[in-house]
Amino acid sequence: MSTFIEMHAVGTSVWLDYIRRDLLEDGGLADLVAEGIRGVTSNPSIFQKAIADSGEYDDDIRAALAEDPDATVNDLYESFAIDDIRSAADILRTVYDASDGQDGFVSLEVSPLLAGDTDATVEEARRLWAAVDRPNVLIKVPATDEGVPAIETLISEGINVNVTLIFSLAAYEAIARAYIAGLEKADDPAGIASVASFFVSRVDSLTDERLEAVGTEAALALRGKAGIANSKQAYRLYQELFGEESFGHLAARGARPQRLLWASTSTKNPEYSDVLYVEELIGPNTVNTVPPETLEAFRDHGEIRGATLLHGWDEADAVIAGLAEVGVDFDEVTAQLIEEGVEKFADSFRSLMAALDEKAGLVRAG
């Protein structure tokens, strides 16, 4: 049995955090699906590397400009991104159908430049949803204060949503409640899909910096523990929010819980295991989206030790409490992370637009 199929048997679906034209056209994604990969995520940074840092899309740029010489760089980007998302969705459609709409999704993000504008986010999400026109697509919306009401609106309209850049329990609870409120407003909540992308390794990276600045023995002993602890607390909250008592009335109408998706699962610190954020976050009804290098590492030497998410909750509480005891403000850490996360994606998007503008200029100049 494949490692990824075995993980799914324990409850965690493995998705690939990567998309590029050659992966879709040379059978690479289809091979991964056969091996047990059950979805794909993308973000502006991934598309920036795929489109701007390679020549794979140059012929498409020429063809698009030949057809419409006045096409903007955003027109070019969306045409390539939507084509790739459709192709990935079609490859994953067998998974979507076989899982009755539980897996088999591919994600496309609204422009990160709209993260502070609720109405603009909703309008762009609606437009992208209609343009892609696939049932197994998730439109990504960031978990900003302005994103929360957008999520409720989109879910109420039957648009699948991947809520991204979640770092704190407070942000997670807000978006989970927005999802539930959207389901309650929907004419038919059955079939509406959503995941909550809870980031992990970035939490450790910034928290470790704060701990090292404190420098005491007690502080240094907490390095590399906050990301997993924060995630396990989120999973416990997930069980409360989507338990029979609180979610049963919607489940009776065919609604599904909004699954937690573990994102940012590549290990940034080489002192830590390169499969740390996969092995420690396995449990019922979850997703782990992994970049290619983490996928390779887990395939090679990852261990499945059962549902690790169901254990170590007391230790997780002790870690988060310990941060405050040594003088690290964890709320401040997670607030900084959401701000940096939005800006990082915005920077990637701007870089992508600049690269496309340069390539389009070269084409127009012959």
The CATH number assigned to the domain holding 272 equals: 3.20.20.70
Query: 310 in helix, strand or coil?
Result: helix
The tokens for 275 are 């499969």
**Counted domains in the chain:** 1
The pLDDT score that the predictor gives to residue 49 is 82
320-327 contact pairs (CB < 8 A, 24+): 320/226, 320/229, 320/230, 320/233, 322/218, 322/222, 323/207, 323/211, 323/222, 323/226, 325/218, 326/211, 326/214, 326/216, 326/218, 326/219, 326/222, 327/214, 327/219
The pLDDT score that the predictor gives to residue 237 is 98
The pLDDT score that the predictor gives to residue 37 is 98
Q: Which residues contact 165 (CB under 8 A, 6 or more apart)?
A: 142, 143, 144, 197, 199, 338, 341, 342, 345
The pLDDT score that the predictor gives to residue 55 is 81
The pLDDT score that the predictor gives to residue 307 is 97
Q: Which residues contact 123 (CB under 8 A, 6 or more apart)?
A: none
The pLDDT score that the predictor gives to residue 170 is 98
The pLDDT score that the predictor gives to residue 362 is 86
Residues of the chain short of pLDDT 70, as ranges, are 1
Burial (CB < 10 A; 0-12, 13-18, 19+), residue 265, is buried
* CA 358 remoteness from chain centre: 29
Which one of 49, 140, 185, 359 is the catalytic residue?
140
Nearest to 279 by CA among 310, 306, 315: 306
Note if 344 is an active site residue: no
Residue 321 CB neighbour total at 10 angstroms: 11
Question: Do 342 and 142 contact (CB within 8 A), yes or no?
Answer: yes
Q: Which domain holds residue 214?
A: 3-364
The pLDDT score that the predictor gives to residue 273 is 98
Query: pTM of the predicted model, to two decimals?
Result: 0.95
